[in-house]
Structure 1
Amino acid sequence: MYDKTSDDRLYFSRRTAAESESPYAPPAEVVEEPSVTLETVKQDAEVKALITGARHMMEALRYTDHSERHTSLIAERAGYVLSALSFSKREVEIAKIAGYLHDIGNAISRPGHELIGAQLAYELLVRLGCDYADAILVATAIANHDEGVGQPVNAIAAAVILSDKSDVHRSRVNNLDGLDNFDIHDRVNYAVTHSELTIDTEAKTCHLRLTVDTAISTVSDYFEIFLSRMLMCRHAALFLGLTFNLIVNDVAMM
């Protein structure tokens, strides 16, 4: 539930077993409607420019896809994670917004994009009339989404981490030079033909199911570049009271 601070909507704390079966279940009381919606954010000219700028930057650096396909998927998955765990409508919408905006810092710079993005997101959300507490939650999630620096410091951040780090798929490959010219990141992403993130509330598990074409890339290649991301997913799932399972070609790997 929330800590009873000056604004009890900012921080999540562990509930006792007597209060809830899930240690990070949302409070039972009714929470107000979101102060800003994802659809409002999507229609904003500044947001559109930042999403486009981030895509151009990542294409120039020859990174995998960071277009609206990626941002929309992360928004959808982050909302799904909290909705499946019965968080409030407001918290689900905040998670969607954080997921959609999580990579806007790339429009300015890849190094430090998580902190740049957090500041940009906070300022534009306040401009759009977002409640300060909600804007802080979005900024905190963005600042903590990247491996090496990020931590699941609240439920919004945990949902964004799970959603972002689980997005591996051949549709993310921007390299048009052909399979023979793929680096390991292109090869691993291209080998993944199906990716699905699901929550089992009864078993208290989070499953990432991948179908990998091992003729293109081996499972060991996947772990070589994505192990740190999978560990982040494990920590994020634990924050939400879940066990993280990675299943590759119907074989449990984690």
Structure 2
Amino acid sequence: MKEKKQENITYEQIRKNQEINILIEQGNQVLGKLGYTEHSGKHAAKVAETAGEILKKLGCSKHHIYLSKIAGYMHDIGNAINRHDHAHSGAILAYEILKKLELPLEDAAIIASAIGNHDESTGTAVDVVSAALILADKTDVRRNRVRNQVIASFDAHDRVNYAALSSKLSVNAEKMVIQMDLELDDTMCSVMDYFEIFLQRMIMCRRAAEVLGCKFKLTANGSKLT
């Protein structure tokens, strides 16, 4: 893809777009009623910034960084429709919104493809934009995303997310390694518990790293797991 001198719409304008933010908030409310972790604008912004930072550290083009940030911010808007198949409905919504905002159709298609492939049940990394989105999304594991305040009633996903005291994603461009470092409260969740719940996501991250020409490594409480 050729580097473009100026974008039709900025990432900051996407973040302030009323329609996009209404869909994010509606999706977050829907998931809250269903007992899922937080999927608010805070998660959207974190995924966007992380995706952009991954590509920046790997020396990717500014345009790919720009596309990854937009995909990251919009990736969960499909939850406003239904959690089931939210990646696919979100991709369709995103394409129509971006087309209406007069983003070049090629760019809208790349973003829609990344969103449509970000869920581990049906998707996989297909290019650098989708790879960055997947890595940023699947490694956003943190205690404050758990909305259930009654520990005794935690399901497996609540327990694993609540156990994550810290989660850090780092990129070593020289060694071409993308590494996730987890600190887990082992009174809440063992490393085996984490793998039982998130194995498919970690395999997806490994595939995404490979698309970026990197190896994916995971450590938990200082122990190397992959």
Same fold (TM over 0.5): yes
Number of residue-to-residue matches in the alignment: 226
Q: Residue 68 in 1 paired to residue 46 in 2?
A: no
- The 8 Å contact of residues 3 and 62 in structure 2, kept in 1 or not, is answered as no
Q: Residue 196 in 1 paired to residue 196 in 2?
A: no
Deviations 1:194-217 (A, max 9, x none): 111111011110000110010111
Paired residue for 1:26?
A: none
Whole-angstrom distance in 2 between the partners of 1:175 and 1:76: 26
- 2:151 pairs with 160, 170, 179, which one? 179
Paired residue for 1:235?
A: 207
- The 8 Å contact of residues 164 and 182 in structure 2, kept in 1 or not, is answered as yes
Gap change, CA 1:63 and 1:30, over 3 Å in 2: closer
> Structure 2, unaligned stretches of length 5 or more?
none
Deviations 1:155-179 (A, max 9, x none): 1000001111111110110102x21
- 1:55 pairs with 28, 34, 57, which one? 28
**Helix, strand or coil for the counterpart of 1:193?**
strand
Give the aligned residue type for 1:196.
K
Q: Which entry has the higher C-alpha Rg, 1 or 2?
A: 1
Whole-angstrom distance in 1 between the partners of 2:211 and 2:40: 29
> Structure 1, unaligned stretches of length 5 or more?
1-8, 10-28
RMSD (Å), alpha carbons: 1.1
Whole-angstrom distance in 2 between the partners of 1:94 and 1:205: 22
Give the aligned residue type for 1:216.
M
Whole-angstrom distance in 2 between the partners of 1:64 and 1:238: 28
Whole-angstrom distance in 1 between the partners of 2:32 and 2:17: 23
Write out aligned runs for 1:86-125 (5 A): 86-125=59-98
Instruction: State the identity as a percent.
Output: 43
Q: Which has the higher helix share?
A: 2
TM-score by length of 1: 0.87
Paired residue for 1:157?
A: 130
**Helix, strand or coil for the counterpart of 1:64?**
coil
Paired residue for 2:14?
A: 41
Q: Residue 223 in 1 paired to residue 195 in 2?
A: yes
